[in-house]
Amino acid sequence: MGEAIRTVEENVLIRAGVCAVTVRPDLGGKIASILIGDQELLQSPLRPYGARTKNMSFDAADASGWDECLPSVAACRVTTANGRVDVPDHGDLWRVEWEPADAAGKNDAEQSGVTLRGRCFSLPLRLERSTRLSETARGWELELNYTVRNESDHAVPWAWSAHPLFVVEAGDRIVLPATVKTLRVEGSRENRLGGHGDQVQWPIAVLRNGGSSDLSVVQGAESAIGDKLFAGPLVAEEDWCVLERRRQGIKIRIRLEPQKTPYLGLWICYGGWPEGPGTKQMCVALEPATAPVDSLAEMGGWSRTLGSGESYSWAMRVEIEVARG
């Protein structure tokens, strides 16, 4: 099992062999780094870490690492039993300091991971996430277990998405189950894949200009691609996706629970975001999610509500395989 070490800056470092995971409770429980030796798996900060406000845009901050999006990914206005509520960009939780799950400040899983809680401010929701790292025969496994709870006396709508930004380079590959044939477009820079709600084929997509693109192959930053797509609802056998870092000899496999989080968001960004001047993302995000849309205000059969005091739990795993030389 891994060993959790708290630094003087109050970062939490979880280590198993040469794999080290850094968690930042002060920055919304952000998983700031997953290191294999000297190889970083997550997108580095686009801007220096700093204070967050309740209404700043996601690209005004560091836009890096792994955050949790709750109660929405997109900024939106929703109507609840307690009135209208404005939910900010990428939700609440990346903006607030998280606390240890134990009120006394101790962690029951201290020798193998860390358990933290973050409270939303736009809606009365609390997310608890335990993060555990262990070494396996092929590499490492990062296990994450989640529980969201409604802390109010009225029903509350909610949607969750993981937001792990894995750094990539041209030639890396995204692998989805063979049964996934189409993806839904949430958004596409310059509408290269079409508009919101359109369907595209996977892996070879027909572009708006009549050309085609192999979405499974990572392009260079000069392509300026920025596409958000969704797969699902997924069936039991479609409980995985893989990012192959070919030159590094690393495979990152995401395992999810389709019966609980039946959608997979796919953010492919090769120099196409943020808009405007400055450093751009070069990453792929493989995002288990409860909905096939970014906005909590976009209703459908996927929409979820928690009654007063109710909770909901789910899990995901990250399996990291390293080629043995």
What's the pLDDT tens digit per position in 246-257?
A: 999 999 999 999
Q: Does 1 map to a domain?
A: no
CATH of the domain at 286: 2.70.98.10
Spatial neighbors of 137 by CB under 8 A, at least 6 apart, are none
CA distance 24 to 10: 8
Give residue 82's pLDDT: 86
Residue 140: inside a domain, yes or no?
A: yes
> Is residue 324's pLDDT more than 90?
no
Q: What confidence score (pLDDT) does residue 112 get?
A: 72
Distance between CA 314 and CA 148 in Å, rounded?
Answer: 9
User: 81-85, 173-177, 215-219 — which is least confidently predicted?
Assistant: 81-85
pLDDT confidence bin for 284, thresholds 50/70/90: very high
The verdict on residue 36 lying in a domain is yes
- Is pLDDT of 7 > 60? no
Lowest mean pLDDT among 51-55, 124-128, 320-324: 320-324
What pLDDT, on the 0 to 100 scale, is given for residue 110?
Answer: 39
Nearest to 230 by CA among 274, 259, 262: 262
CA dist 45 and 65 (Å) reads: 7
**3 domain-assigned:** no
What pLDDT is recorded for position 21? 96
Q: What share of the chain is helix, strand, coil (3-state, %, to 5)?
A: 5, 45, 50
Tell me what the mean pLDDT of segment 202-223 comes to: 97
**Residue the block writes with tokens 């189409």:** 182
Asked whether residue 120 is domain-assigned, the answer is yes
Helix (H, G, I), strand (E, B) or coil at 171: coil
**Predicted model pTM:** 0.94
Residue 3 binned pLDDT confidence (cut-offs 50, 70, 90) = low
Provide the domain limits for residue 302. 10-322
Given a cut of 50, whether residue 45 has pLDDT beyond it is yes
**Side by side, which strands form the sheet with 173-175?**
99-100, 113-119, 125-135, 139-150, 311-322, 250-255, 240-245, 173-175
Whether 6 shows a pLDDT value over 80: the answer reads no
Residue 5 within any structural domain of the chain:
no
Encoded tokens for 58: 């996601």
- As a residue count, the chain comes to 325
Q: What per-residue confidence (pLDDT) applies to 106?
A: 46
In this prediction, residues 295-308 reach a mean pLDDT of 98
Do residues 165 and 266 make contact, with C-beta atoms less than 8 angstroms apart? no
266 close to 230: Cβ distance less than 8 angstroms: yes
Q: What is the pLDDT, as a whole number, of residue 8?
A: 40
Q: What is the mean pLDDT of residues 126-154?
A: 97
Cα–Cα distance list, 71 to 18, 42, 227, 262, 310 (Å): 35, 23, 22, 17, 15
pLDDT at 10: 72
Rounded average pLDDT over 27-56: 97
Domain assignment present for 91: yes
Which residue do the tokens 């919304």 mark? 28
Q: Which amino acid is it at 59?
A: D
Q: How many other β-carbons are positioned within 10 Å of the β-carbon of residue 36? A: 18
Task: State the total domains in the chain.
Answer: 1
Q: Phi and psi at residue 189, in whole multiples of 5°?
A: -55, 130
